[in-house]
Amino acid sequence: MSLVVVGSIALDTVINPFKKAVDALGGSGTYFSYAASYFNEVRLVGVVGRDFPVKYLKEMKSRDIDLAGLEIVDGPTFRWTGEYKFDMNVRETKKLALGVFADFKPVLPAAYKKAGYLFLGNINPGLQLDVLKQMETRPALVACDTIDFYIKTDLQKLLKVFKNVDILFINDSEAREISGVSNLITAGKKIMKLGPKMVIIKKGEHGCLLMAGSWNFAAPAYPLENVFDPTGAGDSFAGGFMGYISTIRKVSEAEIKRALIFGTVTASYCVEKFSVDRFRTLTKPQIDRRFREIKKITHFDTV
Amino acid sequence: MSLVVVGSIALDTVINPFKKAVDALGGSGTYFSYAASYFNEVRLVGVVGRDFPVKYLKEMKSRDIDLAGLEIVDGPTFRWTGEYKFDMNVRETKKLALGVFADFKPVLPAAYKKAGYLFLGNINPGLQLDVLKQMETRPALVACDTIDFYIKTDLQKLLKVFKNVDILFINDSEAREISGVSNLITAGKKIMKLGPKMVIIKKGEHGCLLMAGSWNFAAPAYPLENVFDPTGAGDSFAGGFMGYISTIRKVSEAEIKRALIFGTVTASYCVEKFSVDRFRTLTKPQIDRRFREIKKITHFDTV
């Protein structure tokens, strides 16, 4: 079934102890789409300015990312500048220039309004609600992500979004912030009471936890020695998850677990290089190989 | 094969937001022995004062913990007072009174010197070396644990211990401290160069990572909503691991993985109550049930 994502498309300047990348392709919608494109066609809803490099548009099309929902308008593309120190877990936003993203009003092309799978990437919760309203039929599965900024500034609208999604992707610190509790299992349970049928708590190097009410699942991160650039890891995780699950006729517990591992895999590849660079060479067989490797490092025989 | 552990036996005063326990049974050797006793007889080497309650000695014996190596000497038993705040991950040592533990010189009974499995619990590295020297035959498997205190105060002797062990149990912050790197995979690899054939990095609520050179393994913590008292979790983890593996004729990759899950299980039960209270009612079938539950939350089918 078709997969629609709404999210940011950005030009990122990323500084880390090893390198600096200027105006590299970034944004939540971008990372999601690149990761998801290994599994399904992706329909990307977003906005860029006229300064957005045509080569990136071409690259997206070559990856079966449908751009009918991508607006190109006057003004500068959203730009983000961030720095990572030696401990790659800590990111500092140095500069944020919203540009054309400031006035973004997502408009879904007619063909998108019956999408089977919808991912509301990390954008203003009001816009996430707008997109939901534009859907003509309720998708089989709606998932969303957010960041602490919107928890702090727009909680009421965010809670409305939560009421309408099946799956919430959220990182550990945000889960603690929203729930007001430190224990992540309790936090997940409290958040599920706000609406989502499933909560996936992303824990960076510690992997993720999925809570689905009657069952839970836990996956470690793929053990990587060299994390080159963590930017986009969460979006690539959601992209791998949603890309895989959107190809499945009947969403079951077993398929959700597989999707979570595929998300783990795409996130692990994402952080190996700057920007979406790793996806430029990554192949589906490499994804499948790492999927099997994760099986080896997590499965054990019962006695 | 027989399993010998050397470690502390203490009377703990533990304060947490819910309760205060005074002079409760504690110590690394104790937690290890209680957890391991579900799998094998345990031979405990340690020291207590004459104030040590006889009921605890009786309880140990009733659990098949052999006390031929337990000295009872004049003076007060080792006492530790610690406090946990609402975030159970942070522990503060309020008081430490070594008592008879200050002059502890472990002496192995003759029967212990040919043990197949040896666990050097968290005590002074010099004493860990002493115990190693007393062994008449090299055990099939030697494991050790330590804490940041000895990394800071007695690193040279600790490094000698590392050269002589098969498995090092260490927590994440200590692994970072010893290796000087933040990435835990890199940290584990660096520590393996110091001697241990396997490094098991304990990450508390995030589970654990095992690195064995040619293969890795990762296990989540059992998802618990109510962590009542984290004291002894690491020792109970090692106890479950070593208790299980010491019953195995041929240590293989598959058995090590199982042992790690049994350690995860005994640690998860340990933190459900104060002191070793949970072990006072815990049964082997309950351990086996949680072992199978962890399978459900970690296993997935390949595509």
**Can you list the domains of chain A with their CATH numbers?**
3-298 (3.40.1190.20)
Best residue in B184, B300, B301, B302 for a mutation probing chain A (most A CBs within 10 Å) = B300
**What is the mean pLDDT of the segment spanning B163-174?**
96
Q: Which amino acid is residue A114, in one-letter code?
A: K
DSSP letters, chain B, are --EEEE---EEEEEE-SS-EEEEEEE-HHHHHHHHHTTTS-EEEEEEEETTS-HHHHHHHHHTTEE-TTEEEESSPPPEEEEEE-SSTT-EEEEEEE-GGGGG------GGGGG-SEEEE-SS-HHHHHHHHHH-SS--SEEEEE--HHHHHH-HHHHHHHHHT-SEEEEEHHHHHHHH--S-HHHHHHHHHTTS-SEEEEE-GGG-EEEE-SS-EEEEPPP--S-----TTHHHHHHHHHHHHHTT-SS--HHHHHHHHHHHHHHHHHHTTSSTTGGGGT--HHHHHHHHHHHHHHH-----
pLDDT at B91: 81
Best residue in B39, B206, B256 for a mutation probing chain A (most A CBs within 10 Å) = B206
Residues 6+ apart with CB under 8 A from A110: none
Inspect the interface and report whether the beta carbons of B182 and A254 lie closer than 8 Å: no
* B74 touching A (Cβ < 8 Å): no
Closest residue by Cα to residue A36 from A249, A210, A245: A245
Closest chain A residue to the Cα of B210, Cα to Cα: A297
Strand partners, A120: A6, A144
Rg (CA), chain A: 18
pLDDT at A226: 86
Give the separation between CA A186 and CA B226, rounded to whole angstroms.
8
pLDDT digits (tens), chain A, 303 positions: 899 999 999 999 999 888 899 999 999 999 999 999 999 999 999 999 999 999 999 999 999 999 999 999 999 999 999 998 876 767 888 998 999 999 999 999 999 999 999 999 999 999 999 999 999 999 999 999 999 889 999 999 999 999 999 999 999 999 999 999 989 999 999 999 999 999 999 999 999 999 999 999 999 999 999 888 999 999 999 999 999 999 998 899 999 999 999 999 999 999 999 999 999 999 999 999 999 999 999 999 986
Three-state secondary-structure class, residue A202 = strand
Nearest C-alpha of chain A: how many angstroms from B191? 14
Inspect the interface and report whether the beta carbons of A219 and B298 lie closer than 8 Å: yes
Closest residue by Cα to residue B3 from B59, B64, B48, B58: B64
The size of chain B, in residues, is 303
Closest chain B residue to the Cα of A303, Cα to Cα: B258
Q: Which amino acid is residue A33, in one-letter code?
A: S
Give the separation between CA A155 and CA A150, rounded to whole angstroms.
6
Q: Where is pLDDT greater, at B90 or A203?
A: A203
Q: What are the angstrom distances between the C-alpha of B221 and each of A262, B43, B227?
A: 21, 28, 12
- Tell whether the model's pLDDT for residue B86 goes beyond 80: no
pLDDT at B117: 98
Average pLDDT, chain B: 95
Phi, psi of B231 (to 5 degrees): -55, 130
Give the separation between CA B35 and CA B282, rounded to whole angstroms.
10
pLDDT at A196: 98
Of chain B residues 143-182, which have a CB less than 8 A from chain A?
A: 182
Give the separation between CA B290 and CA B44, rounded to whole angstroms.
27
Nearest C-alpha of chain A: how many angstroms from B120? 26
If pLDDT is split at 50, 70 and 90, which confidence band does B19 have? confident
Could you write out the three-class secondary structure of A31-95? HHHHHHCCCCCEEEEEEEECCCCHHHHHHHHHCCEECCCEEEECCCCCEEEEEECCCCCCEEEEE
Inspect the interface and report whether the beta carbons of A216 and B185 lie closer than 8 Å: no
CB-based contact A266:A239 (threshold 8 Å): yes
Closest residue by Cα to residue B131 from B178, B142, B235: B142
C-alpha distance across the termini of chain B, in Å: 41
Closest chain B residue to the Cα of A227, Cα to Cα: B183
Q: Hey, CA dihedral for B168, B174, B177, B181, is it positive or negative?
A: positive
Give the separation between CA A26 and CA B226, rounded to whole angstroms.
40
The size of chain A, in residues, is 303
Residues 6+ apart with CB under 8 A from A232: A26, A28, A30, A31, A270, A271, A275, A276
pLDDT at B294: 98
| Token representation of residue A146 | 């957010």
pLDDT at A18: 81
B204 sits in the region (left: phi over 0; alpha: psi -120 to 50; else beta) called left
pLDDT at B17: 82
Residues 6+ apart with CB under 8 A from A226: A272, B183
* A193 touching B (Cβ < 8 Å): no
- What residues in B contact A225, CB-CB < 8 Å? 183, 185-186, 189
Give the separation between CA B167 and CA B302, rounded to whole angstroms.
31
Phi, psi of A170 (to 5 degrees): -150, 145
CB-based contact B72:B54 (threshold 8 Å): no
